[in-house]
Amino acid sequence: MRNISAGHRRTGTLRRKEAIAGLLLISPWVIGFVWFLLIPLLFSIYASFTRWTLINPPPVWIGLDNYRNMLRDSDTWWAMGVTLRYMAMTLIPFLVLALLLALLLNQKVRGMNIFRTIFYVPSIITGVAVAILWATLLNPEIGAINQVLRSLGVANPPRWLASSDWALPAVALMSLWGIGGSTIIYLSGLQNIPGELYDAATVDGANPLQKFFSITLPMLSSTLFFLFITGIIGAFQIFTPAYILSGASSMGSNRAINFYVLHIYMEGFRKGKLGYASALAWLLVIIAAVIVILIYRRSEQYVYYETTGDNG
């Protein structure tokens, strides 16, 4: 009995040491989460109900006034409209082009890994560097894009960022730079599709188009859904390209690419209305959450999730 009791004590001591070691190992993440995410998140909720400005730091509680003013502000809805138009311009074309590129890169050709790397590398370059590069490419006078268009016989190419009509399409065009990231995700999904399905379809006499719509697309539906959701969230969050390119534009095109997050930044840090900017941020969170939840509730109708185990 004495030996059993000593063994229990040693086991209990070992478990306590393991628990303490585990807590110490995760403590940097917990501290970072609480200090850099949870506390600012909770404070932003409080700030959204206050009049808090840079020139008058102590927040003053004003209840729902920020939200009422925000809903009456035409600039808020203009910025939301710009964001939604950008989403409409980029989301579906981005998904389709990335899928087509993934299908090409999935071919068993010698040296294909080099091509995969070439298409993926641009997606890991920082947003500021990419935005500056595109600001140069889209320069209406000396930019490479307009130089190519002129060489092809286009007498008056678009002025891109200097035009209120072409500024938003220019930012949408720039988004294709990062298509390699989505392509790699598609490629992973394509390579997880069992080859036996294609073999069985071949035996049944299916042509490549029938295989694509009957096997490839259904098996990729979860990947498509993931990229669709992240694409929506990414479109709502776009800031860096708009901030850099709006500084590089002229002739009043800034308003044409005044995205919602850029609008939040302008209200909070240019005009100093931190409380009002917090309310704008929470409106964005609510709108994005509602859209994503509605899409998720319908996802089971068109998304195939592979299940494991015995269903019988």
Domain check: are 159 and 196 in the same one? yes
Q: What total number of domains does the chain contain?
A: 2
Tens-digit pLDDT profile for residues 113-126: 898 988 888 888 87
Question: What pTM value is reported for the model?
Answer: 0.85
Domain check: are 127 and 17 in the same one? no
Domain check: are 43 and 123 in the same one? no
Tens-digit pLDDT profile for residues 65-106: 999 999 999 999 999 999 999 999 999 999 999 999 999 999
Tokens of 51: 């009049």
Domain check: are 16 and 145 in the same one? no
Give the CA-trace dihedral at 282, 242, 274, 37, to 10 degrees.
60
User: Which pLDDT does position 9 carry in this prediction?
Assistant: 65
User: Which pLDDT does position 28 carry in this prediction?
Assistant: 92
Domain membership of residue 280 (yes or no) is: yes
Structural domain that includes position 110: 67-301
Domain membership of residue 306 (yes or no) is: no
Domain check: are 37 and 121 in the same one? no
Burial class (CB in 10 A: 0-12, 13-18, 19+), 18: exposed
- Give me the residues of the chain with pLDDT under 70, please: 1-10, 12, 248-254, 306-312
User: Which pLDDT does position 165 carry in this prediction?
Assistant: 87
Cα-only R_g, the chain: 26
Domain membership of residue 127 (yes or no) is: yes
Tell me the CB-side half-sphere exposure of residue 239, using CA atoms within 13 A: 9
Domain check: are 246 and 284 in the same one? yes
Domain membership of residue 214 (yes or no) is: yes
Tokens of 130: 């990419």
Domain check: are 38 and 181 in the same one? no
User: Which pLDDT does position 168 carry in this prediction?
Assistant: 92
Q: Dmax over Cα atoms in the chain, in whole Å?
A: 97
